Structure 1
Amino acid sequence: MKLDLSRLGDWSTLPFFTAQLPQIETRLAQEDGPVFPPAPQVFAALERCQPDATRVVILGQDPYHTPGKADGLAFSIPNGFPGRLDSLGNIIKELQDDLKVTRTQTALQDWADQGVLLLNTSLTVPQGKAGGHKALGWAALVRDVLERLADRPRAYVLWGSHAQKVAAKVDPTRNLKIETAHPSPLSAYRGFFGSRPFSTVNQWLKDHGDTEINWTQAP
């Protein structure tokens, strides 16, 4: 799998792309089965949301490992996908409970276009093997991204212990830091439901003189 770096924009200066990426590409080329998302979408989150445009960071774990489900943005699923929504279904349910709005689109590109960085801590996954690439080296990229974003206050939404561990150095006195259970069907009832992350982020943005995120639907 050869990854396209031509659309990374300002992210391209991160040390990861010269220090660690070549080894990851070598290991990806040795995979004997499908890897998701498809190569052109691996860096979609970074391409879609440049560093200076990033206002909110939502940190996931790894991409969906079902064919046709991962699109390179954490938790996002292409519109019209016929299978289960899993974590995204619970996110949409919490959105409805929090803001009293209904979202029917499952693709989250409109969030990214408003400055929401939907980043997974692993950017690839083998088909049918959740967490299969968690030790591949992607953690170095996430560390670089978080360091790049430390230049000004931002909102961080950290769902689950894994995301919270990766972003442990994010300063909660300078940034908004929301830490709850993961929206997975296995854990959503342990504190994700009822946490109201969307209204909390919007209020924080308003308090800092910024515009709210339209979480409901693409314009």
Structure 2
Amino acid sequence: MAGRIAAMGDFLRAEVAAGRTYLPAGANVLRAFQQPFDDVRVLIVGQDPYPTPGMAIGLSFAVSPEVRSLPGSLENIFRELHTDLGLPRPSNGDLTPWTEQGVLLLNRALTTAPASRRRTGARAGKR
């Protein structure tokens, strides 16, 4: 595993050297793995980090506490928690407290290109 992580680090450094950026910031790429696996009780898998700078923090569905306009997916999670369990809506979208309760918030892809670099729709298939 250490070899794969080192290779990923090499790849990301090469991206930066080539003038390309990625999200979340380097220090947060492996943030989901900071909690000991023995403490994990629940796994929530997301697709990939949010592509908007300032939002992705390395935990699936979570955003920086400073983000005021929450992504729709996170709003839906909060709405369902309120509807199903009567839980109050959190004051922000930082789900770090969940990780402290044994929830592993992991995206299938650990990094993504910022929105301005992403290819979408019909353009994605053209070169």
TM-score (norm 1): 0.48
Q: Structure 2 matches for 1:85-164, cutoff 5 A?
A: 85-104=71-90, 105-128=92-115, 129=118
Distance 2:101 2:48 in 1: 22
Q: Secondary structure at the match of 2:19?
A: coil
Distance 2:97 2:52 in 1: 23
Aligned-residue offset at 1:80: 3.0
Q: Structure 2 matches for 1:63-82, cutoff 5 A?
A: 63-82=49-68
Distance 1:79 1:64 in 2: 14
Contact 1:92–1:103 under 8 Å retained in 2? yes
Q: Tell me which of the two structures has the higher relative contact order, counting C-alpha pairs closer than 8 angstroms and 6 or more residues apart.
A: 2
Q: Which blocks of at least 5 consecutive residues in structure 1 are unaligned? A: 1-12, 132-219
Aligned-residue offset at 1:113: 0.9
Contact 2:39–2:102 under 8 Å retained in 1? yes
Alpha-carbon RMSD across the aligned residues, in angstroms, is: 2.3
Q: Secondary structure at the match of 2:93?
A: coil
Distance 2:70 2:62 in 1: 12
Structure 2 residue 4 is the aligned partner of structure 1 residue 16 = yes
- The 1:121–1:69 alpha-carbon spacing in structure 2 relative to 1, beyond 3 Å, is same
- Quote the residue 1:159 is aligned against: none
Q: Which blocks of at least 5 consecutive residues in structure 2 are unaligned? A: 121-127
Distance 1:31 1:119 in 2: 27
Distance 1:21 1:34 in 2: 14
Counterpart AA for 2:65: N
Q: Structure 2 matches for 1:150-189, cutoff 5 A?
A: none
Distance 2:13 2:26 in 1: 14
Contact 2:60–2:107 under 8 Å retained in 1? yes
TM-score (norm 2): 0.79
Percent same amino acid among aligned pairs?
Answer: 33
> Could you report, residue by residue, the CA deviation over 1:121-178 in whole angstroms, capped at 9, with x for unpaired residues?
11111110289xxxxxxxxxxxxxxxxxxxxxxxxxxxxxxxxxxxxxxxxxxxxxxx
Distance 2:9 2:23 in 1: 18
